[in-house]
Structure 1
Amino acid sequence: MAKYLISFPSAAMAVPDSEWEAVGRDSHAVIREAKDAGVYVFGGGIDEAVPPLLVSADGSVAEGGYPWAPALNGGFTVLELPSNKEAIEWAARIAKVCRCDQELRVFGFDPES
């Protein structure tokens, strides 16, 4: 089975204030379903109040991420699934409850992880 990253950037969630409670309720319900199905690995969102740090191989630290890269923010869910078809189905369910499109990516297999 492969691990799939289902994610969205913060700007994608253009949700009216009146719908936030429903988004939270509905998205938590889908995550509970993933847990009950035994496919949930990890999920959460980037804390945008805490700026990233760029840590070099020599241990030096600089505030901010890669200056040339787009901001990494939003929500992330990692599921372990037997097929790309099932990953697309879960991504569609998450897109529906979050009210925004989701990016779907496959983690490369690493036998040490």
Structure 2
Amino acid sequence: MKLGIVRCAQTEEVCPGSKDFQALREKTGVFAKVDDAIELVGFTTCGGCPGKKAVFRAKSLVAAGADTIAFASCITKGTPIGYPCPFAKRMIAAVEGNVEEGVEVLDYTHGW
């Protein structure tokens, strides 16, 4: 798996992404069922509310070699601030509808 992660721009100041990296390294969370090696090709933000840049950012990750785009748990689960993004579903759907066919989109990274 060649992975690109899209994270919340609002939590960028309080979270360095350590739990995302730990989950992919230890194959926990959404990565628990991945048998192949995971190579991180990029880690970027959604661009800020309301996430209009998420499609462009995901496409740039695909251009860098990603075959899978994961939305970090800060977007869909609200970790670590306890506030999920109100635009998460719309962002994920927009990315799914605008990246190349065959690119997998995951809706979270870790469960804690």
Interval containing the TM-score (normalised by the shorter chain): 0.3 to 0.5
Q: Which protein has greater RCO, CA pairs closer than 8 Å, 6+ apart?
A: 1
The normalised TM-score by structure 1 is: 0.32
Where is the strand percentage greater, Structure 1 or Structure 2? 1
